[in-house]
Structure 1
Amino acid sequence: MNTTPNEHGITHLRHVDLAVPDFATQRTFYKDTWGLTEVGTDGELSYLAAEGSPEQYIVRLRRAAEKRLDLIAFGMDSTASVDAFAQTLAGRGVQLVGEPAALQTAGGGYGFRFFDIDGRTIEVSADVETRRHRPIEEREAIPVRLSHAVMNSTDIHRTRDFYAAVLGFRLTDTLYTPHMGQVMHFMRCNDWHHSLAIAHGPHPSVHHVSFEMRGIDEYLRGTGRVLQAGTKKIWGPGRHTAGDNTFTYFLDPSGNTMEYTTALETITTDEWHPTVYDVTQPGVQDQWGIADPFSEIVAKDSFNDPDRGVFVAPPV
């Protein structure tokens, strides 16, 4: 496997936290349709876990008047790395939301939050309690874990450079179109092809959040269940070339794009050379050739609403 860890000790994607006006509807969607398990509530917060993941939760919902991304959370390998990283960020002029301290959310731990270059709140943490989890059974069509998060940016090269230079993420691959140039950068902090990707969009916002299924059969069964529940499908089923993973994209009740996926590629050598894929070429967006052709209509669904949380830290 990849022998070069993240230079700052960032290990993996922990959870994505969303604020939503339709809190009750979203809770029902993620529990009953999407297949997550609500493991706790705290006032107007809902913590949702994946049965196959040791993370305390992978999605946090917060009732709010306005829809927004509250934060993206990444794990770190030690509290010492958390402290050192806070000093590194401060020395580079990155705006910290708070100093490293004990976390007050489910699972506890030690960490801090800061704004990335687009104004998203990012949390890093270590020593978070793990959750009792279990292997997902054959034909059990529920998420195993959180796979990756993709964010829209008006300047994907600047955002890529921030995550590479400041957070130590590495570029894996890039998508390109002849008339728009480069439109998405895939970035990794561990062996997975990407834990984060940056997509070209008209404003900072959530592009999509992806959930790993047990295998192809469970991925397709889950896709069918979500379709039968009346959820709007944006695109899929299909299989990308960059990352080699399957995809079906849906809109949740708040208009955030969510993806079922499986079989995401892992990087097995340090000598990885990023590829720039022309998405207009057959098979690049969908190796199987069964998904509808990618179009501006598909892209527009994932532009999402302008994020109201830019450079505004969530209250919890």
Structure 2
Amino acid sequence: MTARPITHLRHVDLAVPDFDKQLAFYTTTWGLTQVADDNGIAFLAAEGSPEQYVVRLRRGEKRMDLISFGAANATDVDALAAQLIADGVQIVREPDKLDTPGGGYGFRFFDVDGRVVEVSSDVELRRHRKIEEREAIPVKLSHCVVNSPDPTRMRDWYAQHLGFRLSDTLVSPHMGDLMYFMRCNDWHHSFAIARGPHASLHHASFEMRGLEEWMRGTGKMLRAGARLTWGPGRHLAGDNTFSYFHDPHGNTIEYTTAIATIDEDTWHPGLHDVTDPLTQDQWGTSDPMSESVASTSFNDPDVLFTPPPV
């Protein structure tokens, strides 16, 4: 197994009670494309991404079913599974062929908080296309952030077991560390861990073609009546733009672009004080970060140490 077994973020899987409403929102409004369905399960692709799908929606009790990451090959998948078992990590599904779109080879396990993680390789690439200028739809899934009541434990667990590296930390003089930005490739972050009152999805972020398309997407969502919870603005950590919205079931989702890339030979993780207005928004165009703004992404407590039915 390579020293860093995870190559990238593949998809985020959500279950919701009002499946039809959620599906219509993510396709018609948000801009994803339904590529497959299977009896109350929809697989949604981003037009600019070679991933078979970036969001899976399932009809059921509200929860985040799983987070999926990629590995380089089946050998790395098997080696990672063997190492996790040796370390006492609870396996949900042993390595095997996948029956989801694009096939592949993978397995599932619980992280230290109890959410389900999937790691897979050899998934067939999807025929995708270049997103055109001014086309306000996602290019790909950018990153996923989760809430944890013990983010430091989560940070250390993902570093030890999955090889994630810390890029930067958001800190408060009064509350300590608030968010850890973690990377598995040269993107500043593909995953992040926020301090929250319970384990849940904080937000899923989708990359737009550029600043013009990001702003057009933000305006499109506002005109559609979607709830803007924070933004538009530009973060300091990661240097990426942000516009956060709620989907119909209260999950926070983000349009972003221009996320920084990391030079592994020169990068040193930084501490960014959230009381400095430039930390949260370099432009000053969004509402200031506050407890009320932060609470919009706490989400409902997730279903833990219980695998989804599919």
Range of TM-score over shorter length: over 0.9
For residues 252-267 of structure 1, the aligned pairs below 5 Å read 252-267=247-262
Q: Which amino acid in the other structure matches residue 99 of structure 1?
A: E
Q: Distance in 2 between matches of 1:171 and 1:50?
A: 27
- Cα deviation for residue 25 of structure 1 reads 0.4
TM-superposition CA deviations, 1:47-79 (whole Å, max 9, x none): 000000000000000000x10000000010000
Report the equivalent of 1:199: 194
Determine the C-alpha separation between the residues in 1 that align with 2:28 and 2:3: 39
Matched-pair contact (CA < 8 Å) for 2:210–2:257: yes
Q: Is the 8 A contact 2:232 2:241 kept in 1?
A: yes
> Secondary structure, in 3 states, of the residue corresponding to 2:127?
coil
Structure 2: runs of 5 or more not aligned: none
Task: Give deviations 1:199-248, integer Å, cap 9, x for gaps.
Answer: 00000000000000000000000000011110110000000000000000
Local SS of the residue matching 2:92: coil
TM-score (norm 2): 0.99
In 1, the alpha carbon distance for the partners of 2:72 and 2:188 equals 20
CA contact (8 A) 2:113 2:148 kept: yes
Q: Distance in 2 between matches of 1:216 and 1:152?
A: 28
- Report the AA paired with residue 182 of structure 2: M
Aligned counterpart, 2:47 = 51
Kindly state the Cα deviation for residue 40 of structure 1 after the two structures are TM-superposed.
0.9
Q: May I ask how many residue pairs the two structures share in their alignment?
A: 310
Question: Does residue 181 of the first structure (1) align with residue 157 of the second (2)?
Answer: no
Determine which of 284, 296, 306 is the counterpart of 1:301: 296
Q: Which amino acid aligns with 1:85?
A: L
Could you tell me which amino acid in structure 2 is paired with residue 305 of structure 1? Answer: D
2:265 is aligned with 1:276: no
CA displacement at 1:16 relative to structure 2? 0.1
Query: How far apart, CA to CA, are the structure 2 residues paired with 1:19 and 1:270?
Result: 40
Q: Residue 99 of structure 1: SS of its match in structure 2?
A: strand
1:312 match: 306
Aligned: 1:103 with 2:98: yes
Give the Cα separation in 2 of the matches to 1:216 and 1:268.
23
**Identical-pair percentage:** 66
Matched with 1:16 is 12
Give 1:97's aligned amino acid. Answer: V
Q: Report the counterpart of residue 132 of structure 1 in structure 2.
A: 127
* 1:206-285 paired onto structure 2 within 5 Å: 206-285=201-280
| Amino acid in structure 1 at the alignment position of 2:200 | S
Q: 1:6 and 1:286, CA in 2 relative to 1: closer, same or farther beyond 3 A?
A: farther
Query: Structure 1: how far apart are the matches of 2:221 and 2:281?
Result: 21
Corresponding letter in the other structure for 1:180: M
SS at the partner of 1:24?
A: helix
Q: Which amino acid aligns with 2:298?
A: F
2:111 is the counterpart of 1:149: no
Q: How far off its partner does 1:6 sit?
A: 6.6
Q: Which moved more, 1:230-239 or 1:5-14?
A: 5-14
